[in-house]
Amino acid sequence: MNSDRARILKKARHKRGPVAYWMSRDQRAEDNWALTFAQELAINGGSALGVIFTLSDDFLGAALRQYGFMLRSLVEIEEALAEKKIPFALLRGDPGEAVSDFAEEQSVSAIVTDFSPLATKRSWNERVIQRLAVPVYEVDAHNIVPSWRASPKQEYSARTFRQKIKRLLPLFCEEFPSLKVHPHPWDLGGRVDWDRIWRDLDVDRTVPEVNWIFPGAAAAREALQRFLNEKLSSYDRDRNDPNRDGQSNLSPYLHFGMISAARIALEAVRADADPKSKAAFLEELVVRRELSDNFCYYNPGYDSFEAFPDWAKKSLNDHRSDPREHLYDQKELERAETHDDLWNAAQREMVLRGKMHGYMRMYWAKKILEWTESPEEAQKIAIYLNDRYELDGRDPNGYAGIAWSIGGVHDRAWGEREIFGKVRYMSRRGAESKFNVGSYVERIGTPE
Ligand code: FAD
Ligand code: FO1
């Protein structure tokens, strides 16, 4: 493994004792560099290895839909780890405290965790570091090129980031080693009582689970194979048409780490498919996705107006008092009660299906800017809805996508117009010129 994938968050003397991999963002047993690193550390020290997951009831507005998707996959992970003689424990309570209490009780010698640029996980890490006297390592198991290696600063556009990441990709595109049967046992008190976890789960149950997509690593692999066999070759033509099922639908799996982006990239590169489509897909999967992590990692205000570039902030400020022809509040938007049936259809697609089409996401967020009191309110509402309903929400891609749509992040200045200032505008007429809006609206259905 390229050693730059790992870094030390807390230096401390290595004592003897088991190594714990604190899994969070990368919820899979195979193709996981954080787990590989933890196993190597354990084997080199002659130690046991275990995986812990801290279940928090309140993660950035997630509801039953997303918790269900995650928990059903964690059951599979426990099973896959058991086959390798690696125990799995599910901890409850404040994650920072739960991890440090567990480590003390079990005399853990080192903690390894996966990387997330989001504030929540960073604050959990801080708490663990403060409370524990053992080494804590962080491994970027999500990005192909670790965020801290891809660039030392926030990149202002895909163009500048693309150059850097393309140069580094050959160093990090390695085949994954298989997880080994772990040679040193660790008794963590048996299997997780999943029935009890479900019973005690205190989350918003008004956003139900969906049944068009199945969670877990095996389902993710199948979805990838289907995409490579049936859709990759026409990706470039079909991905921006919400009436064609042209996208991969891999984002929910990527968000929860049920599949690794590097695995998808390796398979896509090997696939016998149209080169233009391959390049378009890899641009989204690698450059755009890893650029979102770069944005959130170097810009702690990623979910605020402050994150927008200066030209956009100035321009949006100049247009604050422009009259709005339509004004909606959060509830009206949430219930898809606007004058625009295209927007309403997109909103309903997200609420009912848990995944809005990629093209519609841009239109959707830009219209929220057009129809609310201020850019701050638009951003807040867009984040609330995205995080509450999307399976892939609560993700750097979401914060970056919303900041791109409303605040010009990673974009350039366009011709000035009302409300948007120099932020790129999207019109319903533009959508109509790209795809059959009527059939999209009809397919998603109108409320009774
Ligand atoms: P595919 O087209 O098959 O792409 C494959 C993968 O490439 C995706 O799974 C994703 O990881 C990555 N990707 C594709 N488009 C983008 C993009 N524009 N930016 C960054 N990465 C990209 N993506 C999320 O994962 N979570 C979100 O919450 C989210 N919210 C968004 C909100 C707005 C307002 C906008 C404009 C975009 C948002 N995106 C989000 C980005 C993008 O729309 C989705 O990643 C994509 O539609 C997911 O579907 P897919 O996996 O079928 O995509
Ligand atoms: N990660 C956890 O470690 N514990 C959780 O309880 C948890 C819940 C959760 C719910 C919805 C969702 O979209 C993601 C969730 N995650 C959870 C994963 C989370 O994405 C990562 O921990 C992030 O890296 C944190 O920034």
Ligand nearest to the CA of 393: 1
Give span(s): CATH 1.10.579.10, the chain: 305-444
**Residue having the nearest C-alpha atom to atom 3 of ligand 1:** 248
How do strand 88-92 and strand 6-10 relate by DSSP bridges?
A: unpaired
Compute the distance between CA of residue 69 and CA of residue 58 in angstroms, rounded to an integer. Answer: 15
Contact (CB, 8 A) for 17 and 107: yes
What separation in angstroms does the CA of 422 have from each of 157, 198, 370, 411? Answer: 16, 48, 13, 10
CATH dotted code for 3-141: 3.40.50.620
If we measure between CA atoms, which residue out of 375, 368, 394 comes closest to residue 67? 394
> CA-to-CA distance for 275 and 283, rounded, in angstroms?
12
Would the pLDDT of 446 be above 70? no
State the distance from the centre of ligand 2 to the C-alpha of 121, rounded, in angstroms: 8
Q: Which atom of ligand 1 is nearest to the CA of 249?
A: 52
What average pLDDT does the segment 211-230 reach? 98
365: CA distance to ligand 1 center in Å? 13
Q: Could you read off the pLDDT of 96-133 as tens digits, one per residue?
A: 999 999 999 999 999 999 999 999 999 999 999 999 99
Q: Could you tell me the distance, in angstroms and rounded to a whole number, from the CA of residue 59 to the centre of ligand 2?
A: 6
pLDDT given for residue 58 in this prediction: 84
Residue 448 clears pLDDT 50, i.e. is over it: no
CATH top class, domain 305-444 = mainly alpha
What's the pLDDT at 14? 85
| Numbered ranges of CATH 3.40.50.620 in the chain | 3-141
d(CA 410, ligand 1 centre) in Å: 15
Does 394 sit in the ligand 1 pocket, CB within 6 Å? Answer: no
Which residue, by CA, sits nearest to atom 3 of ligand 2?
24
The radius of gyration computed from the CA coordinates of the chain, to the nearest angstrom, equals 22
State how far the alpha carbon of 421 is from the alpha carbons of 20, 327, 373, 377, in Å: 51, 18, 15, 16
Q: Average pLDDT of 337-348? A: 98
Pick the ligand that lies closest to the CA of residue 26.
Answer: 2
Please give the full DSSP string across 263-313, using - where no structure is assigned: HHHHHHHHS---HHHHHHHHIIIIIIHHHHHHHHHH-TTTTSGGGS-HHHH
Average pLDDT over residues 53-71: 94
pLDDT at position 228 is 98
**Protein residue closest via CA to atom 24 of ligand 1:** 397
Average pLDDT in the chain: 97
Instruction: Give residue-wise pLDDT tens across range 234-288.
Output: 999 999 999 999 999 999 999 999 999 999 999 999 999 999 999 999 999 999 9
What residues flank ligand 2, with Cβ below 6 Å? Answer: 24-25, 54-56, 59, 62, 66-67, 70, 116, 118, 120-121, 394
Q: How far is the CA of 83 from the centre of ligand 1 (A)?
A: 34
Nearest-angstrom CA–CA distance, 448 and 440: 17
Q: Whose CA is nearest to atom 9 of ligand 2?
A: 59
- Ligand in nearest proximity to the CA of 143: 1
Nearest CA to ligand 1 atom 33: 401
pLDDT in tens, 162-200: 999 999 999 999 999 999 999 999 999 999 999 999 999
Amino acid (one-letter) located at 243: N
Q: Average of pLDDT values for 424-442?
A: 97
- Interval between CA 251 and ligand 1 midpoint (Å): 6
Question: What residues does 92 pair with on adjacent strands?
Answer: 55
**Ligand with an atom nearest the CA of residue 250:** 1
- Which residue has a Cα nearest atom 13 of ligand 2? 394
Q: How far apart, in whole angstroms, are the C-alpha atoms of residue 58 and residue 318?
A: 37
For residues 365 and 405, the answer to whether their CB atoms sit within 8 Å is: yes
pLDDT score recorded for residue 60: 84
Q: What global pTM score does this model have? A: 0.98
pLDDT of residue 261: 98
User: Which listed ligand is nearest to 254 at the C-alpha?
Assistant: 1
How far is ligand 2, taken at its centre, from the CA of residue 259, in Å? 15
d(C-alpha 436, C-alpha 48), whole Å? 58
Q: Which atom of ligand 1 is nearest to the CA of 392?
A: 26
Residue from 236, 259, 386, 397 to probe ligand 1 pocket by mutation (most atoms less than 8 Å from CB) = 397
Using 50, 70 and 90 to split pLDDT, how confident is the model at 447?
Answer: low
Q: Find out whether 102 and 89 touch, Cβ atoms under 8 Å.
A: yes
- Provide DSSP, 33-57: HHHHHHHHHHHHTT--EEEEEEE-S
Nearest CA to 114 out of 14, 27, 50, 3 is that of: 27
Q: Are 213 and 391 in contact (CB under 8 A)?
A: yes
| pLDDT > 90 in the chain, percent | 97
State how far the Cα of 396 lies from the Cα of 393, in Å rounded to an integer: 8
Tell how far the Cα of 70 is from the centroid of ligand 2, in angstroms.
9
How do residues 199-211 score in pLDDT, each as one tens digit? 999 999 999 999 9
> Which ligand places an atom closest to the C-alpha of 61?
2
